[in-house]
A and B are shown apart, each in its own frame.
Chain A
Amino acid sequence: MKHNFTLIMLLLLFCLATNAVAQQTDVSGRVTGAEQGMALPGVSVLVKGTTTGTTTDANGDFRIQVPGSDAILVFRYLGYETREVNVGNQSVINVTLNTDTRQLSEVVVTALGITREKKALGYAAQTVETEDLVRNRQPNVLNALQGKVAGANISSTGGAPGQGTNIIIRGINSIDPSQSNQPLFVIDGVLIDNSTSTFGAGAELRGMSNRLADINPDNIESINILKGGAATALYGLRGANGVVVITTKKGEQGALRVNFTSTAGIEEVNKFPDIQDTYTQGYLGVYDPNSFWPSWGPTVAEARQIDPTHPDKLYNHFRDAYETGHQYRNTLSFSGGSEAITFQSSLSHLKHEGVLPFTDFENYSAQLNTNVKLSDKFSTGANFTFTKSGGKRYNADRFNESLSYWSPRWDVTDFRKPDGTMQTYRNNNPIYGAATNQLEDDVNRFIGGLNFGYKPLNWLDLNYRIGVDTYHDDRTRTAPGPRGVPDEITYEDNRQGFVNEYTTKFRAINSTFIATLNSSLGENFNGTFRLGHEVYDRSIKSFGVEGEQLALFDYFNLTNARFLSPVQREEDYRLMGIFAEASVDYRDFLFLTLTGRNDITSSLARDNRSFFYPSVSLSYVFSEHLDLPAFINQSKLRLSYAEIGKDAPPYSTSSGFANYTGLPTGFTGFTRSALLGNAELRPEFTNTYEAGLEMSFLDNRLGFDFTYYYSLSEDQIININVATTTGFVRAAVNSGSMRNRGVEIVLNAVPVRTNDFSWDSRLVFSANRNKILSIREGLEEIAYASQFGYVGATVTMKLIPGQPYGNIYGSHYQRYYGPGEEEDPLFIDEDRPIVIGANGFPVRAPLASQKILGNAQPDWIAGFTNTFTYKNLSLTSLFDAQIGHEKYNQMGNFFAAFGIAEYTENRNQTIVFDGVLKDGTPNTKPVFLGQGIGPDGVNYTNGFYRNVYRGVSENFVEDASWVRLRSLTLSYSLPNKWFENLFIRNAGVSLTGNNLWLSTDYSGFDPENSSTPAGSNVTGFAGFTYPAVRSYLFTLNVGF
């Protein structure tokens, strides 16, 4: 019934507006731009003080009827200074408009492709242009945005080729850890999928790509990040986590232009953990070259006396196991066109071989953008992109875990015997695993959009767009079975050999219709009214067959498997929105925008599926209104409020029985579904408030943009993990509320600007504070993730009211509390002494006491870009920081358990632990840290590190703050005179170094990475990750 309303409103407006045309004197003329003298089409021409107006046609010509000779015409055009002209007795008025050079008048692409003057926006918006994007030559668009956008926390999940990257804008909004907090991605108006699929056995830990990896940054003209509720309101609930609006390069009228860009480079692991190099293989100090235990043996010198074949020093198996990676990307593009048709097309190829052996990623893409202008009134355009991407993925978690078990007494790079079986002394050789246990994905994707623009009347603009994003994601997971040769040791995960085949078919269609009505509402007011309708229809079907136990050990064909089991999953989702936007501006300094959207979603039950939410935003360009000192340039104040609705993940309303997968072919069984569905689910709402101040000074040499936001999400839809004693694994509930508030600051400065030399500087800073205000009644906490740690060191991420999202809980040392002193149940009091047991070792508090050991959300993030340009040479550096967050280092836990960590070198020492006994008196008992019988004759069994240290989570939740030189790029555009007589138009070369410098206290690999796939909200675990890389890249760009 909301459709009816829209329709009636639309018809009414047609009628209203048509009445406004009926006049007397004729005036005509042409409007041109001052700079090139080009005709300006679409300039608004208005009789001042009336609602009479028109716009110029394609040749810049206009014709308007004015009431008399005292009339004043107002010429207004985006990006140009507004001009007023007295009509007098002229019948032909030719006008030249000057370019508006003031900073804030830049045009930005906002929601649904609507372009608006930046000064009119009542909310923060940040644009990243192509030169900033491509500078650090990142294959993944999201990585290219790192450190450049205030309020966006972007993290690589690891350094694997094609590995996913996570982006969170203005903090986590959903309490539900399984709900995506990733923003919506829109390319040329088409809503595209950026999910990270983990479909298929074991894909979770294989660093699968986020689907934005299919997009070549070289094809992008600009990216606009819409952060707050008011900015994204028109996108509806799918934009609730922010929207990233990507505009690709378009062709320009003129001769054919050809551009070729080639990048090649190498990369290496940027940070390795420190490992001990004194103790060799064995246990209890006893050397055994076949022992499972990599480092609890005697010293190397002692072992060499027993075993002369022992190498004179241990290998550094972590450094040895990783290689130098390579990548290259070539992009060839063509653009040009006539007055009627313009086009841009490109072909590109990326090949990326990772630092972890046998991992790679390849991407081929072809793209075509065309725009056709059929007449002054009608235009149409099409964008098509085809991508084929994928590569060999390996489980970096498993690789590093196996490396931790590997004894550095042996050379890990000698991984294969001549007969093809695993070379090992006993334990799994991780490189052999990477070589044989493979998951290869192959994605064929098509993204296409068609748009039609129709402008029947000069105040009415109709636009329709239909877009499709569809792909097949085929995955093949294989491992050879035992070869049956003598003395064969198989790689554990390869089992009896397997071949798994998976396919996902994804299809999303989205259709958008927008009618725009422009009108002048008297002398000082201008109004724009938009009405729109949008449908999003998504269908995902995944299926696969898992074949186990291969007859011929390396014939990876399902017919060669003894046991076959199928998997299948389907999901459909539909969403429709009807929206309206009204904006009014008053004398070019006050801009008010109101929006409303009503969504109807398929993921909620009928009674709750339709819901409405509004937004309002105001921009006050006070520099245009008030008389300010000359050193202040354009400055404005922004205020906005928005309510955003959100629906549930598909099928949260239903429960039932799922196929039970434990039975062999020939038996069918059903089992209770893991999710307890809830038909009563209601939409959740977030209220956001935002205020901002933008100012620029000293001829725009200095400027800042400050934003404060506050958002409160209530009645959240959560699929909480529940105790299995309920018979379910998860349950869908409406409960809980969460708050985010924060600041974003962008500082721009041009400290030096001369003819030959300039220095541009930009700092982006943001800080977000999150607090869980309440969770479900009756629940004290929601545990949403945990990661294993030895003997009680397992850590859990839990939501506890009053605490922020991202807290990591775990076991801790017992602190001393005197009589009558009460212990805080959540926080460790670091100032108190640790309680030492009668045996002389620190005491772990009972496991039931799990305290806050850290939080995975950074206190603040910042990016600092400096560009120095001297003539044709430019140098850009980007420093990036994430400060004030902790992560659980599972690898650190294993390093303690297996005596790998450098600090375990003190195992031959006898020390007195600092702390007090149960009764509060100081501990004085010396204890031996090693294994077995100590120098004092006491049996220390497995030793301090295994008996005590590895079992205390507190030891392994580390400060993960970092500061890095994210990128350094030196580029040189070759002087044009060098190839004046050649067919080359322009050429440039650049050298880029990424991750050249990293400062962190974290003891594992680069702490930016995460054990969980991109898109996951579990960011507190960073142990066995695919290590981050430092890369050196050379780029050549030639235009013809």
Chain B
Amino acid sequence: MSTQDTGKAIDAQLSRRRFIKGCSMAAAALGLSETMVPKLVEAAASPQRPPVIWLHFQECTGCTESLLRASHPDIGRLILDIISLDYHETIMAAAGHQAEEAMQASIEKNKGKFICVVEGAIPTKDGGIYCQIGGRTAMDILADVGPKAAAIIAIGTCASYGGIQAARPNPTGAVGVRDLIKDTPIINIPGCPPNPVCFLGTVLHYLTFKRLPRTDQLGRPLFAYGRKNHDQCERRPHFDEGRFVEQFGDEAHKQGYCLYKVGCKGPQTYANCPVARFNDVGVWPVGVGHGCIGCTEPDFWDTMTPFYERLPGVTIPGGGQGIVTGADSIGKKILGVTAAAVGIHAAVGIGKKVIKGNTSERAEDK
């Protein structure tokens, strides 16, 4: 097996054991058989590492942080070892014009071959002036770099769908990469932050099979986002059995029952959180007693809030501002109005009869 000497091609601090372990995790996330692990290892250890330009726009760097700050550094280091990271504002040594020159040089050298990773949304309002790097707007940079890439990986919900920047009223006109770039293949790895395993799996899939993984209709790789959290949740039996947390801290909460009634959005969210889990210690929000907030879904700040209720508020148009009310209360209000209308209608009929007598009987008398 060609994996024998892979230790030389990669970071000496990353032991072969941990390297194989990281590749195996990615293979498991991709749903590949263990016989594929050597192929992944071979691809990951190839001396020809794909150049990566990592662009940061409107973001909090949380995606990068979650990638790098794994409790033991297997995945973060593995990612940094299998790709040649030519430009990444958070971790590169170069600064200022030097950094921009390095980026331009790498783009020109690897035109059509490099992977462009985008982190953060792109503001489009007022010519995109709300996010500028080195005097250029994010729109400009993406329009320049994006089409020259072999593929774009949008990491995080902001780069995928706009994220919190795009939440109503979206003051900067923020959008995701897929709204601006049409001709370059784009993979979305949404999440706030996304699981590093999903990113690693996508990169390794690309290196091993020379093509991007299959995606759903929202551009998310099916191996990670093909199933809903609810359908993989360890608390699912409590849902089916009708054992619910009524409020945080109650006895049912202590027993680890289902969080559906305190607003868990797992039933509406496609992700692999219950399976892949986070931070190498096997945790994920529902596992530690907080409902899923649906962070891998487009517009989740608008459609998943309030986070501790089942359904979002409904905007009633009018008065310029619009009133937001719960779906329940709007239904009940309209029911009240209908009941009132029926009551008035009936009262008019009875009133008319009292005043004028029974007209239909009179008609019959004729």
> Is A bound to B?
no
